[in-house]
Structure formats: C-alpha cells, structure tokens
Chains A and B, each alone.
Chain A
Amino acid sequence: MREDNEKELPAAPEGRIVVPAGGLRLPASPRPPVINAWSLSLVGAVAVLVFLCAVWPDPYLDILAFVPGGLLITFEVTILSICCAVPLGLLTGLGRLSRSRVINLIASTYVEVIRGIPLLVQIFYIYYALAMFLQVSSLTSAVVAISFCYGAYMGEVFRAGIMAVPKGQNEASRSLGFNRFQTMIHVILPQALRTILPPVGNECIAMLKDTSLVSVMAMPDLMQHGRSFAAKTYLYFETYTVIALIYLIITLLLSKAVNLMESRLDYYEKRK
C-alpha cells in the first residue's frame, strides 16, 4: 500500500513534504477477488442446473418440480438439530473441562460412546430398536440422533476452543474479582467463539448433508424424494445429478453464511 501512496505523491524537493491537492488518502482496503473457489462453485452449480433444465426440460424440469418437496424436511431436521446440538456441544465441552470428576466422567463417556457409533446405526437404533419401549415420531428420532451425534463432535470443538484461550486471560479476570462463572461467560467464551466458529460451521454443513440419512426412516426429505423419483422413472443419472446440485447449492450458501459470521467476529484482525 505504501508504494501506491508514494507513486501518487508529486516529486518533492529534498527535505520537504508536499501534500497533494485532495489531501492524503488512506489506502483502500483490498477487495476480495470476485472469482474464488466459492463463487466458482456456486455459479457453476447454478449454471449446470439451469442449462440442464433449459436443454432437456423433459426429465429435468419434472425432477426439479418433484424433488424440492423434500427440502422443507431437510431444512426442518437441520435447523432443529443445530439448535439442539450447539448447546449440547457447549455443555459437553464445559463438562469435559469441569473440575468435578463426576461431570467430567459423564461428558467424556458420552463423547467416547457416541463418537464410536456411526450415525446411521444411531438412527436405526433410536427409530427401530428403541421402538419396543418408546414410540417417537420419525422427526423426533432424526433430531435426537443427529444432535446427539454432532453434540459429541462439537463438544470436542468447544473444548479445544476454550483451551486455546491463553491462561493469562483467566488469571487476569480472576484477579480482577470475577468468579469462575463470570470469567467463563464474559472473558473466555467470547474469545473462544472466534476459534470455535469455523469448525462449528463446518459441523453444521456436515450435519445438513448427513440429514440425507433420515430417508431410511421413510422421512420424505430431499434424498428420499430423489430416490422415490428415480425408483419410479429409472432416471438415476438425471435424478441424482439434480439432487447433488441442490445439496451443493444449499451447502455453498450455508458456508457463505458461516464465512460472513466469521468476518464479523475478527475484530482483532481488522485494519486500524
């Protein structure tokens, strides 16, 4: 940036500073490039989808008209699961750092057990195996299974984020008279949030994709709509191309949202 300014300054005689007519300008903050991986993927996905529908409206428009009926279920499961998994992850992370041995043991056991069982098995277990004792709807089973699974993963993310805050912050806060709870809420967590947000956003995107597993419970989500359409018409290539593109577009939008949140939180990195 300095070179830019030097170029704009008129040649000054030795030892004198000449201020240009418009006053000294602050260097413009660099604009992010228009073409990056994200925009390329999004434009590409939308373009392919539009192209397919324009050139072969016969199968593709039918698929596009049929399939998004499942989007609502996909979103419903994702949003409810995020709402349950994030607090569960925070509690687990705090539990893993707790000084109480009992709480620590409970949180650690939960993480070890859930992390060791595939999500698909958990879904089957909650929906079909537990049905002998407890009848829950497919939506409840889906949200419970996904948030329990991701709660465990997020617990580790939260733990890592909290541990990454320098110890001095804790000591300084305690010496200023904050108790442990206040220190956590007002000092540690706000700083940890910056580290935690990208991986948690990542988990949320993974969660959205994993909701496609709920179709085994006969839930009519996006994937199930696609399978049902393919089973009826035998257009496997066309149907799954559209399904893949729709998932891609949604996750790209979600990753942009996470990105925006991240950039709002990087107040320490911002240019002065």
Chain B
Amino acid sequence: MLRRLCCSLLLSVLFCSAAHAADKLIVASDPTWPPLEFLDDSRQVIGYDVDMIKAVAREAGMEAEVRNIAWDGIFAGVAAGKYDIVASGVTITEERKRAFLFTKPYYDVQQIIVVKKGETVKSFEELRGRKVGGQIGTTGIFVARKSGVDMKISEYDDVGLAMQDLINGRLDAAICDSPVALYYANKKEGFSDHLAIGFRTNATEAFGFVVRKGRQDLVDKLNKGIDAVRAKGIEAELIKKWMGE
C-alpha cells in the first residue's frame, strides 16, 4: 500500500514537473549587447531579443523566463541543457550550425567598424597593423580575422570594455553587430560623443535562437511562434521600439 502511494506520488510529481517544464521556456541572454539585450536600472535583462523571445514563446504557448548568462559560457550551458535556448543576438554560422540547432532567422545585421569621432576608416585595409577590438567569440572577431588583413585583434569579455578602450585610445577601432555599433555611436551616454561609424561590411548575417541538438521539436514550435509574431505585426512594433527605425 505504502509503495503504491509512494509510486503514485512520485509519478504525479514527475508528471507535474514535466508538464511545468513544457510551458516554461528558460532563455539565456548575455546583457552586454544593447539594444538587443542589456540591463536596466533595476538589473533586469531588457531589449529587442528579450521582447522578441517573450512574444515568440507566448505565440508558441510557452512562458519565457530570461536569465543573465555570461557570453563566454553561454553555448556550453545550452549544450549541457542548463537552459532551453540562447536568445542573445547569435548569428547563424556554419560552424555554429554544426554544434547547435537554430530557429529560422529573426533579424538581419551587418558588422560595423566603430572608430573615434573625427577619424575615417572605410575598409579593413586601412586598419592594417592597427589595433582592433571586439567581444570574444562574436562574429565581429571572426569577420575581422577572416578579412585576411593583418590587424592586432584584442578580444574583450564585453563589447563595452572594447568601446571604453577605444575611447581611452588603446584601440584604433572596435567591431560589432550593426545595432550594437549604432547604439554605442548614436545613443549611449558617455560613448556617443566620442565615437563614430567607420564602415559597414557588405555581408549580411542573420540572428537565430540557439537550441541544443536533439530538440528539433522545440525548434519547430519556436519557428511557428516567429511566423505568428510576424503575421500579427508584433515584430515591426518591436523593431520600431528598440531599433528606432
């Protein structure tokens, strides 16, 4: 009798937690990438990606809970199943596709080279032998390395530190995704007075949400959510709200 009771209790607990996990979507985001994800004054993660994944999850019948995870280990965590997805301005690349699943693209960006105000840089060639910084493990760094131009590339933990070093004069340029670069050069207090846009790369990249391999079901759900968000015009609203275009 006791055993049956225990079994049924255990089963119900298991069932409940499984059911609970199904409607909760744990999202990892590295809030160093404004306006896609950053911290507000009360240390909450906010931004375009956060609103977008919340809307997508809602359309897919789930509730998104966004957690603040450092970029350096963000992919290791999703691979280990510590959270369900990464929504942190992740560009879909061939290398990443080999290790993870991606949803359909939800936003297109280019890379932008940011320089100090008053300087002009129009190509990687002009940066030959000079110091370029970016955030470690981001496509900006990859693009700079792949350009084939011999630059001194510094990889920072946080793109904000690279921007700070650019202002301090230790870097000649910083590279990052276009919305982030535009935010630092045009909007961010304390930075926009000192920074200017150098040039924009031609190649377009697309952001996707990252899912662990083997969770194709979740990818399908999220893709349907993205379609619904687009159809209802929520996406356009969010772009207007965060990107100001």
A: residues with CB less than 8 A from B are: 128, 131-132, 135, 137-138, 216, 218, 220, 224, 227-228, 230-234, 236
Contact = CB atoms under 8 A, between A and B. Distances in A.
B72 A231 contact: yes
A228 B136 contact: yes
B95 A233 contact: yes
B161 interface: yes
B210 to A, nearest CB: 10
Given A128-B161, A228-B136, A236-B76, A218 B96 contact: no
Given A218-B133, A224-B155, A227-B136, A234 B75 contact: yes
A214 B123 CA distance: 30
A175 to B, nearest CB: 58
Interface stretch (B9-17, B36-44, B163-171, B223-231): B163-171
B162 interface: yes
Contacts of B137: 227-228, 230-232
A220 B131 CA distance: 13
B95 A128 contact: no
Contacts of B161: 128, 218
Contact of B157 (A132, A137, A216, A236): A216
B79 interface: yes
Contacts of A230: 76, 137
B99 A218 contact: no
A101 B44 CA distance: 51
A231 B99 CA distance: 12
A218 B162 contact: yes
A68 to B, nearest CB: 17
B107 interface: no
A29 B136 CA distance: 55
Given A128-B161, A218-B133, A227-B72, A234 B169 contact: no
B76 A128 contact: no
B99 to A, nearest CB: 4
A122 to B, nearest CB: 16
A135 B72 contact: no
Contact of B156 (A218, A233, A236): A218
Contacts of A227: 72, 136-137, 155
- Of B95, B133, B155, B162, which is in contact with the most chain A CB atoms at under 10 Å from its CB? B155
Closest 4 CB pairs of A and B: A231-B137, A218-B154, A234-B99, A131-B168
Contacts of A135: 168-170
A128 B169 CA distance: 12
A228 B76 contact: no
**Best-surrounded residue of A220, A232, A233 (most CB of chain B within 10 A):** A232
Nearest to A231: B137
A233 B75 CA distance: 10
Contacts of A218: 133, 154-156, 161-162, 165
A232 B95 contact: yes
Contacts of B165: 131, 218
A230 B96 CA distance: 12
Interface string B47-89: 0000000000000000000000000110110010000000000
Nearest to B154: A218
